[in-house]
A and B are shown apart, each in its own frame.
Chain A
Amino acid sequence: MSFFAARRALALGAFVALALANGTRAEEAAEEPTSEDCAKVLAKAREMTNSLSPKSLSRHFANGLLTDAQTEADNGEFDGCVEYAEKAVDEVANRKHWLAPGEIFRVSTVNGYVELSGDDP
């Protein structure tokens, strides 16, 4: 089970929660994401991510999330796959990460490091 477990169902909209009010108990009917759900959102997220410039910090963040999503999918954890892929979609759609002029982002890689700069075109 991925570390996103059942809360995945919230974002999928497949979660039915009868309102918990005045101390009454919520009952849930959760539908676990399938490999098809995972593949669909992963493909969408990849397409959106690849539309960004290779020098985009948002693209870097989204790519990391896609790697996590693929790891979950490879282990049969489709809830985690969908969770990460949707985070990647959100990253690209809302561009939560970007570099101001003069800002540098450096991350180590297998071959050394990559550096992104707010001064890049």
Chain B
Amino acid sequence: MFPKSKIIALTAASASLAMAGASVAGTVNNGNPYVAGDMHNHNTCTDGSVSVGYALDRVLATGTAAAGGQNFNIDWFTLGNHGGSGAKDCRFSDTGAGIPGDTTKNWNDTLGQEIQGITITSLKGTPNGTGSGRQMWRWQNIQEIEWPLIVRRSQQYNKVVIEGLEWVVPGHEHTDVAVITGQTPLNAAAPGVADNMAQFEYLFDRQDNDLIGQVDASNNPLWPGKISNAGLVGNAAHQKSVTATAWLQSRFPLTSYVVPTHTERAGPFSTAGSAGYNIEHFRDLNNAGPTVAFGIESPGHMAQGTDAGGSGSYGSGAVGGGTYGFQGVYTAKVGGLWDGMLGEGRNYFVYVSSDWHTRGAFGARDAATTSDFWPGEYTKLFVPNTSNFVSQNVVDGMRSGNSYSVNADIIGPDMVFRAHGADGVWKTMGETIVANPGETITLEMAMTVPASNHSPYSFNNPLLKPINKQQPLNKPSVDHVDLITGDITGVIAPGAPGYAVPNAAGVAGANIVYNASAKIAKQIPASSMTRIDNADGSARLTFTTSFTAGSTPFYIRSRGTNIPPATPNVTDNDGNPLLDLNNAKIPCLDAACPSHLVKVNGTPVVTYDVQAWSNTWFYANPIFVRPASYPQLLVETNAALAKTLAARASRR
């Protein structure tokens, strides 16, 4: 818990842009300055393994599920399932999930039956599939299955739950999207609808080839203007994704977001198909949606790593050839793509989510996993708390940049990362300090390292054994914090030199430098921080340091880890994460090492969930510093745009 006065101090700088109409009852304040959430996860409506209701219960509830399995009590939750269609009745889990009494059923089995208070009488839109393969378009699924179950669980647990989407993007891989306008599930009298989310999915998802959509009582289509996906690849498809982002910007500039996810996985952008993203595509999206397309999400699927790689579901063809400290190379590399975006002064931030689908070789109730973690189990996206937390606060918090991403509970919900110049006014993540050249920038950072995480393993971290460091996997630890700086040289116009940058699949992609000025400016060992040991076993770490403002703008971002620099097969001499594939070169020799690990030459090696619990990081979004004489940065003008739009909306 955290004193409420501090909550106000920490979040005042990024005041909520709550819209008119968002004055519905919010959730009970848990007392922490930030609240943990997840915006990217799946159920049997698409390719997840558990039903909608079961997933919501495990994620939102406390304690242990009735049939076994820990609940994860997440503070807020966005259901972010794929677009397209699905054959499974997602009021049921897959048989393989191992949930007693719950077996796979398809829509064809259950049409007309009232199940969980919901009756699906027909599969709407263009007929899709036959027999047991008959599929429901996701727009119907969003409206008639996921949304009513969200309303029920939101009120049951008194938590913010949002209906989102993992948009299958024309020309690219996937992107997290939500449109919260109309969604008021905490208001029992008027819980609202998810129709705007459904309409976006119908109009713009690459896998949604329905050409009818929602109709009125006279069967007239209600959602005109769909651009057919047929034959749409490469740049033409990318333009549809830009159109979609502009559509959100024009209709829902403060109540939606567009956050590309696992952005390296599909390799570089392909002019001949739908693959990954290059930096120019992120720039296009940010240009088209200055208050909605404000960042990227690092990969989930944290427990898929084998001796052949695979953590994050990244194969050797991903840009970078795999994950680095469980981030994609765009965000993990100092001077990489993210630093390229920040080097323009863009409002472009980093987020994390679980991408929960399945436990792999295990059942949904098991503590071990060879694939994914549950939302709230391993990854946490923190946004600022408020006294009356509602879905608008999730979007506002993400857009502001005042958010941070944590794996394995390496730090808790009360991080402080702020700085000030001579005026003494603290600015936090996403904000800009205006300072004269030569002025001292004082930076303060504080974090609580929790007493425990959700790891089922208590043996010592095998990755640290080669350096003779003993650290139980279920006890979070911070070795050091990096403060990474980069110069800001201004926005590059579309078509100008440097706007588009050649990209490459595999490890070659890790060699691309987008911002040569980016560097680890300071590395603060935990041993040099002020430490207060709390009665509950957690520890509060704090430090203060300083920078000097120059004649040009720059930014300061932060990351921390449990892994010391120069740990063999994990970090380089500067502390940068190596390709995670290398972790599997290290044996797991403790007698408690689980039996499901990959064995190489008869010896279990650091793979799957053991790898994820061993190699832990957090990432904090940047603070910007600009000379008074320099024009406002894009991050400032876009934040001002959001405030103007909010003020305009509140006057309506």
Which A residues form the contact surface with B (CB < 8 A)? 1-7, 9-11, 15, 17, 20, 23-30, 32, 57, 60-61, 64, 67-68, 71-72, 74-77, 80, 96-100, 103-105, 107-113, 118
Contacts and interface: CB of A to CB of B under 8 A. Distances in A.
B184 to A, nearest CB: 31
B599 A29 contact: no
Contacts of B504: 20, 26
Contacts of B405: none
Contacts of A3: 47, 174, 262, 265, 301, 313, 355, 357
B272 A29 contact: yes
Given A64-B370, A107-B366, 12 more contacts: A4-B313, A7-B275, A10-B317, A28-B268, A28-B271, A30-B272, A57-B595, A75-B47, A98-B599, A99-B595, A108-B363, A111-B100
B394 interface: no
B502 A25 contact: yes
Interface string B357-381: 1101111111000100000000000
A31 to B, nearest CB: 9
A29 B317 CA distance: 14
Interface in B336-357: 355, 357
A97 B313 contact: no
Contacts of A112: 100
23 contacts: A1-B168, A3-B301, A5-B173, A5-B265, A6-B173, A6-B266, A6-B274, A7-B265, A10-B505, A20-B502, A26-B503, A28-B270, A64-B370, A75-B87, A76-B84, A96-B307, A104-B595, A107-B362, A107-B366, A108-B68, A109-B363, A110-B95, A110-B103
A96 B82 contact: no
B505 A26 contact: yes
Contacts of A1: 82, 84, 168, 173-174, 206-207, 274
B578 interface: no
A74 B312 CA distance: 23
A57 to B, nearest CB: 8
B135 interface: yes
A109 B361 CA distance: 11
A110 B99 contact: yes
B270 A7 contact: no
Contacts of B370: 61, 64
Interface string B160-174: 000000001000011
A10 B316 contact: yes
Main secondary structure of the interface of B (DSSP, over half): loop
Contacts of A103: 595
Contacts, number: 151
Given A1-B82, A7-B315, A72-B47, A97 B270 contact: no
A24 B502 contact: yes
B275 A6 contact: yes
A109 B502 contact: no
A47 to B, nearest CB: 20
Interface string B239-279: 00000000000000000000000100111101111111000
Interface in B77-103: 82, 84-88, 94-96, 98-103
B508 interface: yes
Interface in B275-327: 275-276, 301, 306-307, 313, 315-318
B502 A108 contact: no
A68 B363 CA distance: 13
B598 interface: yes
**Best-buried of A25, A27, A32, A110 by chain B (most CB within 10 Å):** A110
Contacts of A29: 272
B525 interface: no
Interface string B57-75: 0000000000010000000
B418 to A, nearest CB: 36
A74 B85 CA distance: 10
B133 A74 contact: yes
Interface string B3-46: 00000000000000000000000000000000000000000001
B596 interface: yes
B295 to A, nearest CB: 20
Contacts of B265: 3, 5, 7
A27 B267 CA distance: 11
A24 to B, nearest CB: 7
Nearest to A66: B96
Contacts of B301: 3
Contacts of B273: 6, 9, 28, 30, 32
B313 A110 contact: no
A111 B86 CA distance: 26
A67 B96 contact: yes
A68 B47 CA distance: 8
Contacts of A76: 84-85, 129, 135, 207
B432 to A, nearest CB: 33
Contact of B363 (A98, A105, A107): A107
A74 B361 contact: no
B356 to A, nearest CB: 11
A24 B154 CA distance: 51
A30 B275 contact: yes
B126 to A, nearest CB: 13
A7 B85 contact: no
A8 B366 CA distance: 29
A94 B370 CA distance: 17
B599 A97 contact: yes
B267 A7 contact: yes
A113 B98 CA distance: 8
A67 B94 contact: yes
Contacts of A108: 68, 98, 362-366
A113 B508 CA distance: 45
Contacts of B96: 64, 67
A25 B315 CA distance: 20
Interface string B463-504: 000000000000000000000000000000000000000111
Contacts of B100: 110-112
A1 B116 CA distance: 28
Given A3-B357, A80-B47, A96-B599, A17 B86 contact: no
Contacts of A24: 502
Nearest to A64: B361
A26 B292 CA distance: 30
